[in-house]
Amino acid sequence: MADTRPISSQSQSAEEPAKTVPFRGGGFVVKPLGVIAPLVFVVIIALWELGSQTGFISGLVLPSPSESFEAFRQLFDSGLLFVHLSASLQRIVIGWTVGSTLGIIVGLMIGLSSVARAGLAPLVSAIFPIPKIALLPLFIIWFGIGEGSKVATILFGTFFPTVITTYGGVDNVDRNLIRMGQSFGLSWMSIVRKIILPGALPAILSGCRISGSIAIILLVAAEMIGAEFGIGAYILMAGSLFATDQLIAGVAILSVMGLCFAWVIGRAEKYFLNWRT
Amino acid sequence: MADTRPISSQSQSAEEPAKTVPFRGGGFVVKPLGVIAPLVFVVIIALWELGSQTGFISGLVLPSPSESFEAFRQLFDSGLLFVHLSASLQRIVIGWTVGSTLGIIVGLMIGLSSVARAGLAPLVSAIFPIPKIALLPLFIIWFGIGEGSKVATILFGTFFPTVITTYGGVDNVDRNLIRMGQSFGLSWMSIVRKIILPGALPAILSGCRISGSIAIILLVAAEMIGAEFGIGAYILMAGSLFATDQLIAGVAILSVMGLCFAWVIGRAEKYFLNWRT
Amino acid sequence: PAAAEKITVGALRFTSHAASFVAYERGYFKEQGLDVEFKFFQAAQPMAVAIAAGDVDFGVTAISGALINLANKGAIKVIGGALQEEPGIDGQMILVSKKAFDDGVTTPAMLKGRTYGITQAGSSFQYMAHKIAQKEGFAGSEIKMKPLQKVGAIIGALKSEQIDAWSIVPHIAKGLAKGPTIEIIGKIADYIPDYQVTTIFTSADNAANKKDLVKRFLAAFSKGADDFNAALVDKTAGDAAGEDMVKLVHKYVYTSRPYEKAAPSIRNGAMRINKNAKLNLTNVKDQLDWFKSEGLVSKDISIDTLVDASFVETY
Amino acid sequence: MDLHLQKLSHDYGKLAVLRDIELEVRSREIVCIVGPSGCGKSTLLRLVGGLEQPTRGQVMQIGEPPAGCLNPLTYIFQDFALLPWRSVKGNISLVLEDRGLGRGEAEEIITDVLRRTKLSDFADAWPRQLSGGMKQRVAVARALAVKPAVMLMDEPLSALDSQTRELLMDDLVELWLTEGFTAVYVTHNLAEAVRLGHKIVVLSRRPGRVREMVSIDIPLDQRKNHVKELDDKQKLLWSMLRDEAMAADQELLDG
Amino acid sequence: MDLHLQKLSHDYGKLAVLRDIELEVRSREIVCIVGPSGCGKSTLLRLVGGLEQPTRGQVMQIGEPPAGCLNPLTYIFQDFALLPWRSVKGNISLVLEDRGLGRGEAEEIITDVLRRTKLSDFADAWPRQLSGGMKQRVAVARALAVKPAVMLMDEPLSALDSQTRELLMDDLVELWLTEGFTAVYVTHNLAEAVRLGHKIVVLSRRPGRVREMVSIDIPLDQRKNHVKELDDKQKLLWSMLRDEAMAADQELLDG
Ligand SMILES: Nc1ncnc2c1ncn2[C@@H]1O[C@H](COP(=O)(O)OP(=O)(O)OP(=O)(O)O)[C@@H](O)[C@H]1O
Ligand SMILES: Nc1ncnc2c1ncn2[C@@H]1O[C@H](COP(=O)(O)OP(=O)(O)OP(=O)(O)O)[C@@H](O)[C@H]1O
Ligand SMILES: [Mg+2]
Ligand SMILES: [Mg+2]
């Protein structure tokens, strides 16, 4: 069979339609758009205020943002804001740090050892679903009604989700990379620290986002136990008095705490995961 | 320089120590060890019973397993167990399914679109930390005191962690694979369904483990609102009457629910992630 | 008669809500042309909100800050009295831990400087503690309040001697005092005579626009209360009636326990429910004043905002 | 369908990768690209395939792709880009789904391309169970499955042993003779280049420019009879690349 | 340090991959392994490196590794196995950490191996920013950094252009002359095999057996002057492989 290699006469005539090759790459990469987030909040709050003002949203349970802000101002003026905040922050920071650290350690154990997985993973599945609130009486016996039980509540709440995300992340680390580490005679500890931990880090950080939010949620549960000060105690008090303006002010403080925490995790992701696209 | 290629005389003499090359691969793979899990539970319960019997664990707040089992038996005999269970299961199944589904959808949106991320991610960070319990009054107003508010509590509780794990998973999908899909002209939908979703699946399933447990935890909060039947209502009742045996029996039911759920997720992982080592 | 009017009654599964159960079981609501559906709650506050939201028509609960604030928002009204402390009948009791008891807290007068368990700031427990202090002649702030949210949590804290004192309804108090770690040192009735523990309330809309409905509800409720008082409080109806009453109540309370176990708790928990839903306005005023003095509710709430006294006899 | 690369330049941040690439790829022409490691060959293919946007210049597509072609510009990735969660078969069927093919038709195509890449026994294996060469063959099979008008091949045979490579090259020649596809073929193997290329483009070291363009006029199916000429071409290319490399070394020594 | 492979066989589940491999690797000897794609070459290397346990048989290590060698048996992976979260430099320093090297010493080694693989400019780049060939060079650099006694190289130059490959081969020859390492070298490139190998082992198709063993007696540093002999060896190898491939084809046609 003769070769049919194109010669100029066979090539496309000049009248053929010419277009640039369409771009089909790109996308699937999320870029930060700084302006939208504040806008969304402003719009939501404005709509809510409008709704309250026009009576569309009944004042019965949901006060207007301005009323809530007024309650917040009172709290601020009374000087108690910082007392509440510092009490709560201390509990959260200790509880979350210890809970997450233990969670990462146990998660690594479950991810790395068959025995630990067989023994601990079902325990985690069995204990995680137990509502902290139901156990408050026990917590009081075990940890007293001082700071102990409050920190313990947050600690327990953050421990379990961290365990689960950590071992999920470990399971997902490319085994080829581990084999590489072994082939270079890296110690077990080095492999865990330098290969498995960084490989599981995206999952762990995503777990931190969750556990951080849970820690904030649990402030309320934690401060049910003999707490005089704390944002959670403030919210509980407002709730029991049905002082909805204070309630919303307290909840807004929690929201802001959540936003700050998310921002920190976002920074950590930027810093630790900058190797990703 | 002359070549110094080994000839037989240069080769190692026979007296040189000979050993097999040490095996350094393997490990870092977790195998199921079926026996340990039941053993752990049996040991814990036995120790607890022993502790109660000998008075080492005071009957003060923690009743012995046998007492709790007795309470469970009474519940069973009264025929209410299935009434409670079916009421709770229905709420959990609906709340969790809808919450997770919405969570996966919103998580995908946040993972895929810059606009959605900028607008929704901070909202998630702001709303997730709000304790459901503080919002109960609002839930009553919005969703009434019927099944609506109960399902909504669980739905909200599962929605947020699912969103976070899903977009964490999407962020972690290898962009090269996406480029491959684009180069073959796959539609956006196909890329999402066939490349991004499976790539994020390990993270999503690990998120399901968490959201499942949270759903069970929230049963108690959900059934605070005008619930006649349900495991959460049973626990609340027991708590308010300080019937610790019933309390523990109720908590044990939640634990078993958690174990069953974890087992289901484990099966799903085996099925969907069998491509991993 | 015309088709029965459908109403929803909120209830907690406590013996103190028995009057409604009796009225329902014995057809007193039907007699009044009311088709009652119960909605059970796990706490009083969601019930109050549900009434404010119009999902529930009537409820029974203690006077709380939430109730007053809801009333202030024009959502609900107190329309009658229910549970009542009464000298001679076992009422709420004052408990101390063994440790505190051995330490010399043998009478309520010694509570000065001690810790006292309450569910929430502004709860009835704090009110009771303050009344004790008032009568014993020291400032309420000299008893250290420990908010622990839940009755269960307070019991745990008391048993493990992390708080010194508490006050609670008799059946729980007696049950606890049977153990080695808790002692009874007094009665609330000695400090707050005629304490109006719980009140009946409804939405402000019902109170203003459906006066007839409210009257019919109260009538049926009172009839139930009479039966209950006769059977378990005054015990004038005889043992068989008492037995019947316990069985009736057991349909709603302690349902998950066998009858033999539930019966003593039900009997011990029986306190008087006011005849004809009479309301002790004097005591309610005192409670309102106390809330005001603690800064828990706004100073300019008047008793009329809280109570609609047009339905029952007040004193 | 012809392609016309017009003054194509590309930078990654401050790193200049490609500079003023001017190239015509005619229909039914195989253009081989050779050049030092890191000079921008893969980047060039990505630009041609529309997976990346050039910093300057453009890629024109002249004429329509022939009928029956499922994905006109098809890429074979240097790192294979197999989905780890799909079997060999699943990885190929991935690119056939949503194309309105009947199940039978798709099945037929898959069986055919697996046979041509000698992977029939491994249709149900997971990617992690494959050897390096087998993964590469899956990537080739996947590209063949969509009957491309222009194939953009990034070292498609590099991980294969010489005889499998020989066989697949024969297969490509055969395919070209019967179906006449167009290809841009990046390779490090000069023997491959002179065996398959109608035109061979030599890129300079980074930033890549077209340093030389060599045409080979011997018809593809007759190249086996012209070993000598091809050997000479290969030597010519080799000397050009060597010069480039030495210049680079010189630069390193100087700079 | 010698290696002795004794009746090594390996299966993956039901898939027979290697059968009765008997091979001696003497100290300072480079053994090249060639064979069809999927015949078990990478598996063989994994067995030798102790990364996988053979189903039957064993790998003996005779004598001690020389002093100064950080990781006696060092593997260069076919798929590079770079940590995506470490820069080029970090990927190399990974294997030097925990070895009690001073910071300065490690730094020196890294600079040296980067220079030798022409990656000095990319010390701080992430793996995703590298071209295929550059990734492979990082893998080579990493292996060189630990001064191995025995190198297990799985197609270490396959993704490189001919001139870079030529340079790195020269580098390896030089290294061998000065340091005299031992190597098991899997390659598809017969020119590479005859250029570097003291012994060339031809594996049969899967399940891999030793089909033939060819020794080349020309000293490594003189091979450039013996082009003709090497060409002959290469042709000999090629014909053997061709036969194997044809036999395989025949089998396919028959079965
Ligand atoms: N983890 C595994 N599980 C199951 N089968 C495997 C696994 N790894 C390799 N195989 C199979 O073993 C055989 C040999 O694989 P190996 O990687 O050793 O081949 P190779 O000779 O290196 O091939 P190539 O030259 O293509 O790299 C192949 O058929 C492959 O499918
Ligand atoms: N995503 C990226 N970000 C930054 N730099 C990149 C990126 N991709 C490639 N580069 C750089 O661009 C240059 C060219 O890369 P390219 O992959 O095109 O080389 P190549 O010619 O294909 O090399 P090889 O033959 O080794 O595959 C390299 O120096 C590389 O470091
Ligand atoms: Mg490339
Ligand atoms: Mg291989």
Interface test with D, best of A4, A5, A28 (most D CBs within 10 A): A5
In chain E, alpha helices (H): 41-48, 88-94, 103-116, 132-145, 162-179, 190-196, 227-254
Confidence grade of residue B225 (pLDDT, cut at 50, 70, 90): confident
Higher pLDDT, D235 or B62: D235
pLDDT for the residue E249: 61
| Chain C residues in contact with A62 (beta carbon < 8 A) | none
Q: Do chains C and D touch (3 or more CB pairs under 8 A)?
A: no
Give the pLDDT band of residue A159 (cuts 50, 70, 90).
very high
pLDDT at A222: 86
* Distance (Å) of CA C16 to CA A123, C77, C172, C191, C275: 40, 20, 13, 21, 14
* Beta-sheet pairing, D30-34 with D182-186: parallel
**Model confidence over D17-48: pLDDT tens digits?**
999 988 888 888 999 999 888 889 999 998 98
Ligand nearest to the CA of D44: 2
A31 at interface of D, judged by CB pairs closer than 8 A:
no
Which of B154, E28, A24, B157 has the alpha carbon at shortest distance from D46?
A24
Distance E10 CA to ligand 4 centre (A): 15
Domain boundaries for CATH 3.40.50.300 within chain E: 2-66+149-249
- Answer yes or no: do B122 and A276 touch at CB < 8 A: no
CB contact under 8 Å between D165 and E188, yes or no, is yes
pLDDT tens, position by position, C134-153: 888 888 888 888 888 777 77
Ligand nearest to the CA of E46: 1
E2-66+149-249 CATH fold:
Rossmann fold (3.40.50)
Which residue of D lies nearest to B173 if distances are taken between CA atoms?
D83
Q: Would the pLDDT of A1 be above 70?
A: no
Encoded amino acid at E59, one letter: V
Comparing CB atoms, the residue among E37, E78, E164 nearest residue D36 is E164
Which of residues A16 and E18 earns the better pLDDT score?
E18
pLDDT surpasses 90 at C257: no
Per-residue confidence (pLDDT) for residue A175, from 0 to 100: 87
**Is A83's pLDDT higher than 80?**
yes
Instruction: Please indicate whether residue E129, judged by its CB atom, sits closer than 6 Å to ligand 2.
Output: yes
pLDDT tens string B91-134: 999 999 999 999 999 999 999 888 888 889 999 999 999 988 77
Residue of D43, D73, D83 to mutate when probing chain B, most B C-beta within 10 A: D83
What pLDDT digit, counting tens, does each position of D123-176 carry? 999 998 888 888 888 998 999 898 888 889 998 888 887 777 887 888 888 888
- C-alpha distances (whole Å) from C166 to each of A145, B44, C147, C157, D182 are 15, 35, 11, 10, 90
Question: Is ipTM strictly over 0.95?
Answer: no
**pLDDT at B201 > cutoff 90:** yes
- Most C-contacting residue of A67, A135, A140 (CB-CB within 10 A), to test interface: A140
Among protein residues, the one whose CA lies closest to atom 22 of ligand 1? E42
Pairwise CA distance, residues D132 & A21, whole Å:
32
A19/D contact by beta carbon, under 8 A: yes
Q: What is the pLDDT of residues E9-62, one digit of tens each?
A: 999 888 899 999 889 888 889 999 998 888 899 999 989 888 888 999 888 888
Ranges A183-192, C150-159, E152-161: which has the least confidence: C150-159
Would the pLDDT of E250 be above 70? no
* Nearest ligand atom owner, CA of E131: 2
Residue type, E53: Q
Inter-chain touch A19–D60, beta carbons under 8 Å: yes
CA–CA dist E23, B125 (Å, integer): 62
Using an 8 Å CB-CB cutoff, list chain D residues near E158. 158-159
Give DSSP secondary structure letters for B164-223: HHHHHHHHTS-HHHHHHHHHTT--HHHHIIIIIHHHHHHHHHHHHHHHHHHHHHHHHHHT
B197 at interface of A, judged by CB pairs closer than 8 A: no
Nearest of D248, D217, D247, D251 to residue D233 by alpha carbon:
D217
Is the Cβ pair A130, B32 closer than 8 Å?
no
| Position B6 confidence tier, pLDDT thresholds 50, 70, 90 | very low
Any atom of ligand 1 within 6 Å of the Cβ of D130 = yes
Identify the pLDDT of residue A11: 43
Partnered with residue C41 across adjacent β-strands are: C12
- For residue E119, list chain D residues with Cβ-Cβ distance below 8 A: none
E21 lines ligand 1 (CB under 6 A): no
Q: What distance in Å separates residue B52's CA from the closest CA in chain C?
A: 16
pLDDT digits (tens, 9 = 90+) for D63-76: 888 777 888 888 88
Domain range list for chain B: 86-276
Regarding the beta carbon of E206 and ligand 1, being less than 6 Å apart is answered yes
- Domain A86-276 = CATH 3.30.1300.10: no
Asked if residue C258 has a cis previous peptide bond (ω within 30° of 0), the answer is no
- Probe target for ligand 1 pocket from D80, D82, D130, with the most ligand atoms within 8 Å of CB: D130
Task: Name which residue sits closest to atom 31 of ligand 1, judged by CA.
Answer: D130
Scanning the structure block, which residue is given the tokens 């004429």?
D63
Chain C: which residues have CB within 8 Å of chain A? Answer: 45, 48-49, 52-53, 64-67, 69-70, 73, 75, 119-123, 146-150, 152-153, 155-157, 159-160, 162-163, 296-297
Please give the average per-residue pLDDT across C113-127, as a whole number.
85
Residue of B nearest to E198 (CA): B5
Q: Which ligand is nearest to the CA of D138?
A: 1
Q: How far is the CA of E87 from the centre of ligand 1 (A)?
A: 29
Torsional sign, CA D47, D53, D54, D56: positive
Please give the single-letter amino acid code of residue D21: I
* pLDDT tens figures, A122-143: 999 999 999 887 777 777 777 8
pLDDT reading at A4 higher than 50? no
- Amino acid B196 reads I
Q: What is the model's pTM?
A: 0.87
